[in-house]
Amino acid sequence: EPEVTQTPSHQVTQMGQEVILRCVPISNHLYFYWYRQILGQKVEFLVSFYNNEISEKSEIFDDQFSVERPDGSNFTLKIRSTKLEDSAMYFCASSDPTGYGELFFGEGSRLTVL
Amino acid sequence: KNEVEQSPQNLTAQEGEFITINCSYSVGISALHWLQQHPGGGIVSLFMLSSGKKKHGRLIATINIQEKHSSLHITASHPRDSAVYICAAPNTGNQFYFGTGTSLTVIP
């Protein structure tokens, strides 16, 4: 069964460092998403991406964040200068070409900022 | 102000009980998603619905667009149903709003 894969599963970084989280969405999906979940809190939307550009982003997704699809398969989330409050689980998801179809989630990347 | 409200926040049930989780939303949505988050943290999509009712095994999801309300029902609950159930609603621009989740524990 096709699945969304994320790497790394866990990353520990120092405050101020750049972090790149990687996702490989399901191959025929065209809509891609990043979400985050701070420990003990609800899932929060960060950004949606379609046709090689951001279609929606939340207030959380400020200038420190960027996304790209560098090679047609990977979908990356970059945090330019990490802060303590960026510590969270980051989930990537993709959905089918209709865009409002079922979401398929990766297992998540846990980011710990020290 | 939460665009998506879920209730209850926590629910404990005896095995075999019928369970209902509710979700109300205030945003204009294109569809509503019910998600299950396992104790290990992984998230699985259960349903995506824009009208009426869907059924998958012991799970049933309904939505009333006029009342901006959706329910997730679990019939004959089982301990393996223990998880956090999350309601999520994308607006027409595909920005998602999430409920806080309902933590379900089914006791044998």
Hey, what are A99's tokens? 């865009």
Average pLDDT, chain A: 93
Determine the pLDDT at residue B94.
77
Cβ within 8 Å of residue A92, ≥6 positions away: A4, A6, A21, A23, A25, A32, A33, A34, A35, A75, A77, A105, A106, A109
* Strands B19-25 and A88-95, bridge-based pairing: unpaired
**How close, in Å, is residue B69 to chain A by CA atoms?**
18
The predicted-structure confidence for B39-72, as pLDDT tens digits, reads as follows 888 999 999 998 999 999 999 999 998 899 999 9
Which of A69-73, B19-23, B74-78 is predicted least confidently?
A69-73
Round to whole Å and give the CA distance between B73 and B108.
19
Determine the pLDDT at residue B39.
86
Chain A neighbors of B45, CB-CB under 8 A: 102-105
Chain A neighbors of B30, CB-CB under 8 A: 100
**CB–CB of A43 and B86 under 8 A?**
yes
Q: With an 8 Å Cβ cutoff, is A48 touching chain B?
A: yes
Chain B neighbors of A98, CB-CB under 8 A: none
* Strands B83-90 and B32-37, bridge-based pairing: antiparallel
Does position B74 have pLDDT exceeding 80, yes or no? yes
Chain B neighbors of A89, CB-CB under 8 A: 41
**CB–CB of B95 and A58 under 8 A?**
yes
**CB–CB of B48 and A45 under 8 A?**
no
Determine the pLDDT at residue B30.
75
Does position B75 have pLDDT exceeding 70, yes or no? yes
SS3 (DSSP) at A85: helix
**CB–CB of A105 and B42 under 8 A?**
yes
Task: Provide the pLDDT confidence category of residue A100 given band limits of 50, 70 and 90.
Answer: low
* Strands B102-107 and B10-14, bridge-based pairing: parallel
Determine the pLDDT at residue B13.
97
Average pLDDT, chain B: 93
Q: With an 8 Å Cβ cutoff, is A12 touching chain B?
A: no
Hey, what are B103's tokens? 């933590």
Determine the pLDDT at residue B31.
86
Does position A98 have pLDDT exceeding 80, yes or no? no
* Strands B19-25 and B69-74, bridge-based pairing: antiparallel
Task: Provide the pLDDT confidence category of residue A99 given band limits of 50, 70 and 90.
Answer: low
Sign of CA dihedral A78, A82, A86, A90: positive
Determine the pLDDT at residue A64.
96
Task: Provide the pLDDT confidence category of residue B1 given band limits of 50, 70 and 90.
Answer: low
Round to whole Å and give the CA distance between A6 and A21.
8
Round to whole Å and give the CA distance between B52 and A82.
44
Task: Provide the pLDDT confidence category of residue A74 given band limits of 50, 70 and 90.
Answer: very high
Determine the pLDDT at residue B2.
73
Round to whole Å and give the CA distance between B97 and A56.
12
